Amino acid sequence: MGLFGKKKEEQKSCCCGNGCTPEKMAQAEATKATVGVKVLGSGCAKCHALEEATRAALEELKMDTTIDHVTDFSQIAAYGVMTTPALVVDGKVVSYGKVLKKDEAKALILKIRG
């Protein structure tokens, strides 16, 4: 009777389906530490809408900052984000899972960069 026997050891896997190598993880961690504004997502319509709202917010704040669009899932997972689109300001995830309006993005940018 095998009902109460030892449990099989579960193999640990990363969130990207075991595609991570030490080099990829180091690159993702280094990318995370950079200063700037990033939109994380696959490149869908919602991701582009978030990018446009963020761009408008930065223009209104008179901040000359480029917006990087990260589509690599291993880099997105390095931020701990599982729901896109997400907005990252200076290495901190400030929003995920929804499209922000310009004023919402502006408030979050000011909160981080204040």
Residue-level pLDDT, tens digit, the chain, 114 residues: 556 666 555 544 455 555 667 777 777 666 666 778 999 999 899 999 999 999 999 999 998 888 999 999 888 988 899 999 999 998 899 999 999 999 999 999 999 887
- In this prediction, residue 23 carries a pLDDT of 77
Report the DSSP beta bridge partners of residue 92.
89
Distances (CA, A) of 65 to 58, 90, 100, 111: 7, 11, 18, 16
- In this prediction, residue 58 carries a pLDDT of 93
Amino acid identity, position 2: G
Which CATH number fits the domain 22-107, given the four candidates 3.40.30.10, 3.40.220.10, 3.40.50.450, 3.40.50.980? 3.40.30.10
Helix axis angle, 45-60 to 102-113, nearest 10°: 60
Contact 67, 38 (CB under 8 A): yes
Sequence spans of domains, the chain: 22-107
For 67, the 3-state DSSP assignment is: strand
- In this prediction, residue 22 carries a pLDDT of 76
- In this prediction, residue 46 carries a pLDDT of 95
